Amino acid sequence: MHATIPAIAPLRLFGKLDPVVESRPDGVIVVRSAKPLPHYSASLVDRLEHWAKVTPNRVFLAERTKTGGWRELTYGAAFEQILHIGAALLARDLSEEEPVLILSGNGIDHALMSLAGMAVGVPTCPMSTAYSTISQDLGKLTYALDLLTPRLVFASDGKTFGRLKVSGPSIAKAYYRVDTNILDSQGFFDTGDVATIDRDAYMRITDRSKDVIKSGGEWISSIDLENLAVGHPKVLEAAVIGVHHPKWDERPLLIVQLKPDQKATADEILKFMEGKIAKWWMPDDVQFVDAIPHTATGKILKTALREQFANYKLPTAAA
C-alpha cells in the first residue's frame, strides 16, 4: 500500500509576477516585469520632505546625550535645518574635487550634514573616528586629506577629544644630545595630551593619553571623573585609573582619599556622581586609600597606583 503524496503548491513571496522573458541567440536570458515601474523617490531627502509635510512633529532622529537623556529632532525641524545647511554648502563653492570631509562619529549633526550635501548635490565623505579622532597614527587621515582635497572639514561639537599632535618650524625633531627622531611618519610631535578644539578654535586639554580610559572603543577622561569626585564634601583627593575588563578592555576605577575624620561608602560616592556624567562613564568601583601618591612636582603618581591595583578584579568583570 502506497501513501498518497500531497500536491506541493509553489510558495509565492512577491505575489503574481507575470514576467516578460526574452531569450537571446547568445544564450542570455533577460527577465523583466510586465508592469511599469511606479514612481519612486530619487533620494532620502525626497522621503524626508514628504514626511516633513505629512507628520512634521514626529521624531525623525534621536541620539543619546552624555547625561543619558535623548536629543530628538522631528521630520519638520530636520528638513528645515537641511535646507539651511544646504544653502551654506552651496555658498562655499564645494565640488567633487573639493568636497566636505566629516570627522565626527555617528549622530544627528553628522546625519544633517550628509543629508544636506545630498539635497544640494555636494559630495560628503565621512571618515571613521578610529582614523580621525582617536588614532595614534594620522597616516590614514593624512592620506584621505591628500586624496579628497576637501574645501570644508566638519566636526560636530568640539567635545570629542583626540590625541594632540603639533607640527611647525619651532618643533624640534629630537631631544638635546639624543640621536633619535621624536616625530611620527607625518612629521608631527605627539604631546601626550588629549584635547578638544571647539568651533571657535579654542583648545582644551582634557587628559594625558596614557591616563585616559579606553573602554569599548570609546575614551573616558580620567580628569573629568576626578574633578567630579573631589566635589563630594567628604573627598580630599581622587584619582582614576583604567583597570582591565574582559568585555570592555578597560573600565574606570575610582581611588579616593577622604578628608580627616570622614567616613563614606562606595555607593555614597557613586550616587553623588550619578546624573552628572554619561552612565557608561561611571566608575565600576571605588577604593579608599589612606593617601594618594604624588610626584616631586605634586602631580598624582598614577604609575604607583597602577602597580598597587595591577591585580585588582572589578566586581563587574564577572558580569
How does pLDDT run across 93-126, given as a tens digit for each residue?
A: 888 888 998 887 788 989 999 999 999 999 999 8
Q: Is the pLDDT of residue 178 over 80?
A: yes
Q: Contact at 8 Å (CB) between 106 and 153?
A: no
Residue-range domain boundaries for the chain: 44-157, 161-209, 211-308
CATH T-level topology, domain 211-308: GMP Synthetase; Chain A, domain 3 (3.30.300)
- 45-101: pLDDT as tens digits: 999 999 999 999 999 999 887 777 888 999 999 999 999 999 999 988 888 888 998
Q: Are 175 and 182 in contact (CB under 8 A)?
A: yes
Evaluate if residue 8 carries a pLDDT over 60.
no
Q: Give the model confidence (pLDDT) of 206-256 as tens digits.
A: 778 788 898 887 788 899 899 999 999 999 999 999 999 999 989 999 999
Determine the topology of domain 161-209 in CATH.
Luciferase; domain 3 (2.30.38)
Can you point out the beta strands (E) in the chain?
19-23, 29-33, 59-64, 70-74, 100-102, 124-126, 152-154, 162-166, 189-197, 203-208, 213-215, 218-220, 235-245, 249-258, 285-288
Burial class (CB in 10 A: 0-12, 13-18, 19+), 28: exposed
C-alpha cell at 13: 513571496
Fold of 44-157: Rossmann fold (3.40.50)
CA angle 202, 205, 211 (to 5 degrees): 160
Q: How far is CA 123 from its chain centroid?
A: 22
When computed from its CA atoms, the radius of gyration of the chain, rounded to whole angstroms, is 28
Contact 212, 222 (CB under 8 A): yes
Closest CA to 112 of 73, 142, 138: 73
44-157 and 161-209 share one fold: no
Q: Is 40 helix (H, G, I), strand (E, B) or coil?
A: coil
Q: How is residue 1 written as a grid cell?
A: 500500500
Mean of the per-residue pLDDT values of the chain: 86
The whole-model pTM stands at: 0.54
